[in-house]
A and B are shown apart, each in its own frame.
Chain A
Amino acid sequence: MIDGIIALYIFMLAGFTGYEVISRVPVILHTPLMSGSNFVHGIVLVGAMVALAHAGSTLEQTIGFIGVILAAGNAVGGYVVTERMLKMFLASGNKQKKGHG
């Protein structure tokens, strides 16, 4: 489906994208952004789901089951903490506006 050379192209372009997106980030957002990128690799969830969906033996099912639990934890946990952190930036920004308005 995804041929070798095409896969390498995707790999290279995605690599540059990640670098570019981060390189203009102010320090104040480093922690939320690390948390946000941590959430993004939670996409491993779909891979774990597919792995468990096609598991044959009990061993594969057990590992797949654990994999999906872990992946769901990564995705949901990553989302919740990132949103909480970023909300505070929003809140402090609003207060700032009120204070000057």
Chain B
Amino acid sequence: MISTVSSQNLIQISYLVVAFLFIVGLKRMSSPVTAASGIRWAGLGMLLATIVTLAFMGASQSNLILVIAAIGIGGALAWVSGKRVAMTDMPQMIALYNGMGGGAAAAIAAVELFRGKETSITHLSLAVMGGFIGAVSFSGSLIAFGKLQGLITKSIRFGGQKIVNLLILLGTLGLAVAVVSGINSAPPAVSGFFALALLLGVAMTLPIGGADMPVVISLYNALTGLAVAFEGFVLDNAAMIIAGTVVGSAGTLLTQLMAKAMNRSLGNVLFANFGESGGAAGAGVTGSQKPIEASDAGVMMAFSQKVIVVPGYGLAVAQAQHKVWELSQLLLERGVTVKFAIHPVAGRMPGHMNVLLAEAGVPYELIADLEEINAEFETADVALIIGANDVVNPLARTDPSSPIFGMPILNADKAKNIIVIKRGQGQGFSGIDNALFVLDQTRMLYGDGQAAVNQLIQAVKAVE
């Protein structure tokens, strides 16, 4: 008996240490200088929590073997996939791992509910809430993963979709109430509850367009945190409560920041589908795109005082970030001032573009965010737009009928010359015409991002 009590104490104290390590880790991750050590602090916490739990959880031998086997399988698969994934595919990988966490929280709830020994209404409600949120986050994140990975290419929308989703939600809540109140807490009701919650996650996420996915992934990240906290209450596990709640609130703030940067409210992202309201939008864009040869563009940049590069997701897709840095270095050697202007939602998530540029070796000091750089476009001789579209569209400032009206944009149109590297003449990700492309001082350099930048490098090298 004495040994049981002390092992319980040991678990509690170690969980306290774990919570401390997590918070310090997150704190350190919030500054570029200490960030890399932050994840190690948090990792140490996770290791400690796992070892202590493994040692003192009091499992039967057969269950202990199952636990170790499951950690081995899940850990090995995640390790290999995490090491292999390309930096450009990071967002969907985060979605996938996040979904797994949500699924695990739902599984904890399912084990508790199927066992049926829990009698406290509070615990039952928390288990059900955590299970609900976890299950929605699980299936929703998998859909988000599928979309970003290109496995699901269509946004499935149909008339009355919102009503169908509402009915699924009401059905889930109805079964939740039945399970908690004890009206019907038999296994079929519990199974039905989880099945509907999983279906809701799928139904909610399917109609959301790819451009809004970062916000959705961030939201599911926060939701998983909350689900973990709820299950922590059920299991009397302080480490889960604290870590889950911290992630829940941090993730909610992060989601708001992202939605704000895209000029979208969360409700808008979840319940209105992009492009629908703007279907009949605006007078559109008149004028024609004027092409330029890479050699001319290279000469123009080589003799500039200042070049501002605006990278967008197209750059990442073309894997052109290394080439762009090579081009920038050539220009820097010639005494040209080169800066990188990063829109808050460049790439697929806030900061994603910074990660990609860091990978290519671009120093921080050349990278400027929207507020810093916008005043500088007027003094720039060339704004080089690579794979960016909506974030430089002046219609966001001028055309109230445009779906992106009001979104903060990079004022690339103020530059003396604008060179846009683009695959073809079509519209961008959101399907909105871009007024920047038809300005008098804009020239289009058509082609694959990497190939086009390569031509620019040759052109600059040839100048002497």
Where the two chains meet, the residues of A that have a C-beta atom closer than 8 Å to any C-beta of B are 1-2, 4, 7, 10-11, 14-19, 21-57, 59-61, 63-93, 95-96, 99
The CA of A91 and the CA of B71, in the complex, are separated in Å by 31
- How far apart are B222's CB and chain A's nearest CB, in angstroms? 8
Stretch at the interface among B147-155, B234-242, B442-450: B234-242
Where the two chains meet, the residues of B that have a C-beta atom closer than 8 Å to any C-beta of A are 18, 22-23, 25-27, 29-33, 35-36, 38-40, 42-43, 46, 49-50, 53-54, 57-60, 63-64, 66-67, 69-75, 77-79, 81-83, 85, 87, 90-91, 93-94, 96-98, 100-101, 103-108, 110-112, 114-115, 122, 138, 187, 217-218, 221, 224-225, 228-229, 231-233, 235-251, 253-254, 257-258, 342, 344, 347, 349-352, 354-355, 357-359, 361-365, 367, 369
Given that A43-B228, A53-B58 are contacting pairs, would A28 and B100 also be in contact in the complex, using a CB cutoff of 8 Å?
no
Residues of A within 8 A of B27 (CB): 21
Given that A46-B53, A96-B365 are contacting pairs, would A19 and B250 also be in contact in the complex, using a CB cutoff of 8 Å?
yes
Assess the A73–B100 pair: CB atoms within 8 A. yes
Given that A51-B111, A72-B70 are contacting pairs, would A89 and B32 also be in contact in the complex, using a CB cutoff of 8 Å?
yes
Q: Which of B98, B249, B352, B363 contacts A38 (CB 8 A)?
A: B98
Assess the B250–A18 pair: CB atoms within 8 A. yes
Given that A31-B350, A51-B108, A88-B358 are contacting pairs, would A2 and B233 also be in contact in the complex, using a CB cutoff of 8 Å?
yes
- How far apart are A51's CB and chain B's nearest CB, in angstroms? 4
The CA of A87 and the CA of B112, in the complex, are separated in Å by 40
Q: Which of A40, A50, A64 contacts B243 (CB 8 A)?
A: A40
Assess the B32–A76 pair: CB atoms within 8 A. no
Q: Which of A17, A65, A90 contacts B23 (CB 8 A)?
A: A17
Given that A21-B250, A47-B231, A64-B107 are contacting pairs, would A89 and B245 also be in contact in the complex, using a CB cutoff of 8 Å?
no
11 extra A-B contacts, CB within 8 A, seeds A18-B246, A43-B244, A51-B112: A14-B242, A26-B31, A28-B32, A28-B369, A29-B35, A41-B247, A44-B231, A51-B107, A67-B106, A85-B87, A87-B36
Residues of A within 8 A of B77 (CB): 73
Q: Which of B43, B66, B87 contacts A61 (CB 8 A)?
A: B66
Given that A14-B246, A90-B36 are contacting pairs, would A32 and B351 also be in contact in the complex, using a CB cutoff of 8 Å?
yes
Which residue, of A29, A56, A67, A79, has the highest number of chain B Cβ atoms within 10 A? A67
Given that A67-B104, A81-B93 are contacting pairs, would A61 and B73 also be in contact in the complex, using a CB cutoff of 8 Å?
no
Chain B residue nearest to A36 in the complex (CB): B29
Assess the A91–B358 pair: CB atoms within 8 A. yes
Q: Which of A2, A27, A78, A86 contacts B38 (CB 8 A)?
A: A86
Assess the A83–B240 pair: CB atoms within 8 A. no
Residues of B within 8 A of A71 (CB): 74, 100-101, 104
Given that A55-B111, A77-B96 are contacting pairs, would A29 and B245 also be in contact in the complex, using a CB cutoff of 8 Å?
no
Assess the B111–A26 pair: CB atoms within 8 A. no
- How far apart are A37's CB and chain B's nearest CB, in angstroms? 5
Would you list 15 pairs from A and B whose C-beta atoms are within 8 A, ordered by A residue? A10-B242, A21-B246, A29-B32, A33-B30, A33-B351, A40-B26, A41-B98, A41-B101, A49-B53, A72-B72, A74-B98, A78-B98, A80-B79, A90-B36, A92-B357
